[in-house]
């Protein structure tokens, strides 16, 4: 799962990581945060504790995971092998 913060027009940090969803896909858990589904033009989830917004989507094979942000996403070690396999066409 590719996940990025929604602040400052997608210029916040971004991660390639595993995200756990509940049965209805309305709640996601990531790095100890509980995110709830929320639909706006810039976000599709928000942190229930901080109200920070996030955009969750699948990782991109063409590595365009950061739309406007500088740098590269942080890749969690437990997701690295699956992400590299995706990039290799697997």
CA 1, CA 87: separation in Å to the nearest integer?
13
Q: State residue 67's pLDDT score.
A: 64
What count of other Cβ atoms lies within 10 Å of the Cβ of residue 74?
A: 11
Chain segment 21-48, per-residue pLDDT in tens: 999 999 999 999 999 999 888 889 999 9
Q: State residue 2's pLDDT score.
A: 59
Report the SS3 class of residue 7. Answer: coil
CA 19, CA 48: separation in Å to the nearest integer?
16
Predicted confidence (pLDDT) at residue 79 exceeds the cutoff of 70:
yes
């Amino acid at each position: 799962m590719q996940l990025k913060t929604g602040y400052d027009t997608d210029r916040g940090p971004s991660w390639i990581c595993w995200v756990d969803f509940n049965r209805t896909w309305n709640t996601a858990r990531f790095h100890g945060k509980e995110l709830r589904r929320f639909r706006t033009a810039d976000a599709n989830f928000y942190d229930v504790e901080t109200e920070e917004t996030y955009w969750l989507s699948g990782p991109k094979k063409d590595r365009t995971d950061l739309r406007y942000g500088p740098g590269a996403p942080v890749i969690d070690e437990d997701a690295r092998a699956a992400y590299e396999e995706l990039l290799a066409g697997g």
